[in-house]
Copies of this chain bind each other. A is one copy, B any other.
Amino acid sequence: METDDLARIIDDYSDVTVTTVCSHSSLQIFHGAKKEGLKTLGIAVNRPPKFYDAFPLGKPDEFILLDSYAELMGLKDELLARNSVIVPHGSFVEYLGADKVVELDVPIFGNRGVLAWESDRKKQREWLESAGIKMPTLIEDPTKIDRPVLVKYQGAKGGRGFFIAKNYDDFEQGLDPTQEYNIQEYVTGTRYYLHYFYSPIQEEGYQLSKGTLQMLSMDRRDETNIDEMYKLGSQEELKRLGIYASFVVTGNVPIVIRESLLPKVLKMGEDVVEKSIELFGGLWGPFCLETIVTDQLEFVVFEISARIVAGTNPFIGGSAYSEMIEPNLSTGVRIGQEIKMARDTGRLGDILS
């Protein structure tokens, strides 16, 4: 949205209503907003989702019902009338499409300018590598596969559309030639999904050039069937039985990292934010670096998510890290605090786009 348009809209807002699509991490977002005393609005398809009734503190005050998420683009006036601030999450972006999110003329928490850099694998790599982040080596020519690789189809979502190849033969046999793909080195190590929060308006804490950075929690994604298929046999044997590895995210497990890696964790977050300011005006609110730690204790980052990730959901009551900021602080609560602080100090323009 143009800065002027945004300023005019915010100016008209008498209050704010935290608004999101009823999926992904919406319980946490609503829970956090309600805890901070903000109004909440859920966007759902067909009927009000009944599952919220089981979690009263995470249930939005009101719902808007659509026939399909495509209708979301037509909600502009209603959302503005309700003083909506949209808190985007992965399913919101997926359902609506990155292009449409950019066009939606309703204030969004965070910088929608990040989408162009995040949704294009090449630009994402350019951003992260220029920030000094190590990523898995790309292999341009499949005949040059000289080590285990992960073949990712373009637009693979939620962990679908990957396969492992250990040589060119595997690649040839596994490939669906109708799809675009990229090939990257398979890095062995342990996975840590690091949940940061960058605030351009908070003054105390871990200082960046124009704001402060927090580390709120960490998780490991749980993926079906790769995570438990080893119990049945080795991948080689299972392939012969017609059972193939898949990488569909089903949940999240809490984890902490060894303390001696924390300086590096914070520094990576810092470098990614500073570079984002340089490249496209910044990355505010929650984001996640998805990393592998090798046995040389090096981080390899295979992806960035520039908004709240579902991996924060184990920590709705707080994490070992957030406990050292404020007891029971979740990413959802932190979002609520940020919006409230911006509202109360007239700085909504600094955290919305």
Taken residue by residue from 204 to 245, chain A's Cβ proximity to chain B (1 for < 8 Å, 0 otherwise) reads as: 111100000111001010111111111111111100010101
Q: When the two chains form the complex, which single residue of B56, B190, B232 contacts A204, counting CB atoms closer than 8 Å?
A: B56
Q: For the complex, what is the distance from the CA of A299 to the CA of B313, rounded to whole Å?
A: 20
Q: A27 vs B258: C-alpha distance in the bound complex, in angstroms?
A: 11
Assess whether A228 is in contact with B188, with CB atoms less than 8 Å apart: yes
Q: Which residues of B contact A25 (CB under 8 A)?
A: 259
Closest to A59 in B: B324
- A233-B235 CB under 8 A given contacts A25-B259, A260-B24: yes
Q: Contacting A222 at CB < 8 Å: which of B27, B49, B255?
A: B255
**Minimum distance in angstroms from A205 CB to a CB of chain B:** 6
Q: Name the residue on B nearest A31 (C-beta).
A: B324
Q: Flag if B319 contacts A323 (CB, 8 Å).
A: no
Residue A328 lies at the interface, judged by CB distance under 8 Å to chain B? yes
* Chain B residue with Cβ nearest A310: B258
Q: Report if A276 contacts B (CB, 8 A).
A: no
- A241-284 vs B, Cβ < 8 Å mask (1 yes, 0 no): 10101101111111111111111011000000000000000000
Query: How many copies make up the complex?
Result: 3
- Could you say which of B205, B226, B237, B325 contacts A236, with CB atoms under 8 Å apart? B237
Q: Is A58 an interface residue, CB under 8 A from the partner?
A: yes
Partner of A24, one of B53, B56, B259: B259
State which residues 170-220 of A face B: CB under 8 Å: 186, 188-192, 204-207, 213-215, 218, 220
B54 contacts A206, C-beta separation under 8 Å: yes
Closest CB of chain B to A61's CB: distance in Å? 15
Contact segment of A78-86, A129-137, A290-298: A290-298
List residues of chain B with CB within 8 A of the CB of A207. 53
Output the nearest chain B residue to A295 by Cβ-Cβ distance.
B246
Contact residues in B for A337 (Cβ distance below 8 Å): none
In the complex, chain B residues whose CB is within 8 Å of the CB of A255: 222, 251-253, 314
The answer to the question of A8 belonging to the interface, with a C-beta cut-off of 8 Å to chain B, is no
Asked if residues A328 and B327 are in contact (CB atoms below 8 Å), the reply is yes
**Minimum CB–CB distance for A244 against chain B, Å:** 9
Complex: how many Å from CA A324 to CA B31? 7
**A318 on the interface (CB 8 Å rule)?**
yes
Per a CB cutoff under 8 Å, which of B186, B189, B257, B324 touches A57? B324
Is A166 close to B, CB under 8 A?
yes
**A and B contact pairs by CB, cutoff 8 A, 22 listed:** A24-B259, A27-B324, A31-B323, A49-B263, A50-B263, A54-B205, A55-B321, A55-B325, A56-B204, A56-B324, A57-B325, A91-B260, A148-B243, A192-B250, A222-B255, A230-B230, A233-B234, A234-B234, A250-B258, A250-B297, A254-B314, A256-B314
Complex A-B, nearest 10 residue pairs according to Cβ-Cβ distance, in ascending order: A55-B324, A246-B295, A234-B234, A54-B206, A58-B324, A317-B323, A53-B206, A316-B320, A188-B225, A190-B224
Using CB atoms and an 8 Å cutoff, list the residues of chain A in contact with chain B.
23-27, 31, 49-51, 53-58, 91, 147-148, 160, 164, 166, 186, 188-192, 204-207, 213-215, 218, 220, 222-237, 241, 243, 245-246, 248-263, 265-266, 293-295, 297, 310, 313-321, 323-328
